[in-house]
Structure 1
Amino acid sequence: MLTSYMDYTSPGTQFTADVNKSPLFKKDDRNFINVLSVQQLNTLENTSLLDIFLSKSNVVEPHYHQNAAELVYCICGSAVVSLINPFTNELLHFPITPGQVANVPQGWWHYEVATMDDTHLLAIFDAPIPEVILGSDILKLTPTNVLAHTYCLDEAKVKDALAPIQKKTFIGPPVGCVKGAVKGKMENAMPNLHPHGQSPYGAIPQQYGQSPQPQWNAPQQGWAQTPQPYAQAPQPYGQPVYTHQVYGQSNRQQPYAQQQPNVQYVGAPESF
């Protein structure tokens, strides 16, 4: 089906693009994200992508896509794709290596952690422009008095803890994060994960671009433990709508930190 708003006879019709020349965010020369959406290639329909480069222990920050599902393909290196299944209320982790994928349904909270240097991931979306809500924005924009009152927390401590979050993170830990300030190491964050193909019992709304007018049963056994716009949003996270087999083992991660070189934003991070 042809895109309704595209005139394929126009001399401005685009059939190719160079993703290397379309930066979204750059932390340093080893950690950056490039983007391809309908803004860069106007003949795209319901497809877009992020080209992600990470060094070990760097994280594509927790976020969700309100208008698309995300398929994460590992080109080289290795990473763990973590998500919360809102139907089982489980935090699930999927390690991926070259040639392997992890799928994040639309609207599910998730993040990606590189477990090797020179990790290269391709995030593919079923929307012309993937929309995103970042964890850093949620923490930065939600009033600390609301967080403190809602969760019975010490407001002064909440304010102090969140004070360093002054802008969108995209790739963390941010510049200035001192290892000693955050306990734990990435190597010990998910001790019960098992690699692809091995037994678990063995060793183990902001947009990424200015969007055009909106146009847009049985459970499977996963290979491991099982990003913004998904179809209809699931029911509340607290109570599952139905129960089904979990895709893998669930576990909680320990925090970690890593000193990083200077961070640099390229272009407007508000949208792809």
Structure 2
Amino acid sequence: MAVSYMDFTSPNVQYFYDLKNNRTFTKDANNFINTLGIQQLNTLGNVSLLDIYLSKANVVEPHVHQNATELVYCIRGAAVVSLLNPFTKMVLTYNITPGQVANIPQGWFHWEMATEDDTHLLAIFDAPVPEFIAVSDFLRLAPRNMLAHTYCLDQAQITQALAPIQGTVTIGPPADCSHQREVRPDTYPPQAEPHPQASYTGYVSRPSPFPGIGNGYR
């Protein structure tokens, strides 16, 4: 929807923008994200997008946009888009190739993994700034004693396991990962279909109640 209060006679009205001028995350030369919002193009209204470039087996980490629905369009390459349905407690996986889309409802956990090199995705949002809550932020900031107590885990083990997460990952594995395992994107279903996972009994079926953890890709 256009911004109704905009003065379209103003010399400051913007109708063009080059996405490469707003790189908001870089892992390396083949894995990065450009962003377009009303800060860059003031005639957008309630629309924004992420211009995502990935090489094979790189993942836009699990995250939530608590204020926006996301439509992922494949321009080049191929990717698996996965989302957790909080009502059925199932993970849905969709293999997308050029010209195909996958839609993630507002507030649902989701992630995208490239299955080919030189994959190019466009993520379109129905909000001027899609708020971003990364699972890596929760894992690195949540008190270890709380996690151990809540999920009946060994505190020393969970502390050791999560210690390497020192910042928001955004595109994983992190560039400095020294013990990457063999990643097999081909293990995902070749056709888009749901498959049951372990029950996520702690997840509430509504958008995240924890605002302010993230406000866009950084």
| Superposition pairs of residues 147-186 of structure 1, within 5 angstroms | 147-179=147-179, 182=181, 185-186=183-184
| Superposition pairs of residues 177-216 of structure 1, within 5 angstroms | 177-179=177-179, 182=181, 185-187=183-185, 189-190=187-188, 193-195=189-191
Q: Report Cα offsets for 1:79-135 as digits up to 9, x if no partner.
A: 000000111110111000010000000000000000000000000001111111011
Letter of the 1:131 partner, please give it: E
| Superposition pairs of residues 71-220 of structure 1, within 5 angstroms | 71-179=71-179, 182=181, 185-187=183-185, 189-190=187-188, 193-195=189-191
How far is the alpha carbon of 1:237 from its aligned partner? 4.2
How far is the alpha carbon of 1:175 from its aligned partner? 2.3
Q: Distance in 1 between matches of 2:144 and 2:203?
A: 23
Instruction: Judge which range, 140-149 or 7-16, deviates more.
Output: 7-16
Q: What TM-score comes out, normalization by structure 1 length?
A: 0.70
Question: Which SS does the other structure have where 2:137 is aligned?
Answer: helix
The answer to whether the 8 Å contact 2:31/2:54 transfers is yes
Identity, % of aligned positions = 59
Question: Which SS does the other structure have where 1:131 is aligned?
Answer: coil
Q: Distance in 1 between matches of 2:149 and 2:40?
A: 44
Stretches of structure 1 that go unaligned for 5 or more consecutive residues are 196-223, 227-235, 240-268
Stretches of structure 2 that go unaligned for 5 or more consecutive residues are 195-201, 206-213
Partner in structure 2 of residue 65 of structure 1: 65
Q: Distance in 1 between matches of 2:146 and 2:41?
A: 42
The answer to whether the 8 Å contact 1:19/1:34 transfers is yes
The answer to whether the 8 Å contact 1:87/1:237 transfers is no
Q: Report Cα offsets for 1:216-241 as digits up to 9, x if no partner.
A: xxxxxxxx124xxxxxxxxx8478xx
Partner in structure 2 of residue 225 of structure 1: 193
Letter of the 2:12 partner, please give it: G
How far is the alpha carbon of 1:189 from its aligned partner? 3.7
Larger radius of gyration: 1
Q: What TM-score comes out, normalization by structure 2 length?
A: 0.87
Q: Report Cα offsets for 1:235-268 as digits up to 9, x if no partner.
A: x8478xxxxxxxxxxxxxxxxxxxxxxxxxxxxx
Partner in structure 2 of residue 35 of structure 1: 35
Partner in structure 2 of residue 271 of structure 1: 216
Q: Distance in 2 between matches of 1:186 and 1:176?
A: 20
Comparing both structures, which one devotes a greater share of its residues to strand? 2
Q: Report Cα offsets for 1:136-173 as digits up to 9, x if no partner.
A: 11111111111011011111111111111111111000
How far is the alpha carbon of 1:9 from its aligned partner? 2.0
Q: Distance in 2 between matches of 1:128 and 1:49?
A: 9
Q: Distance in 2 between matches of 1:185 and 1:14?
A: 43
Q: Distance in 1 between matches of 2:23 and 2:6?
A: 25
How far is the alpha carbon of 1:4 from its aligned partner? 3.6
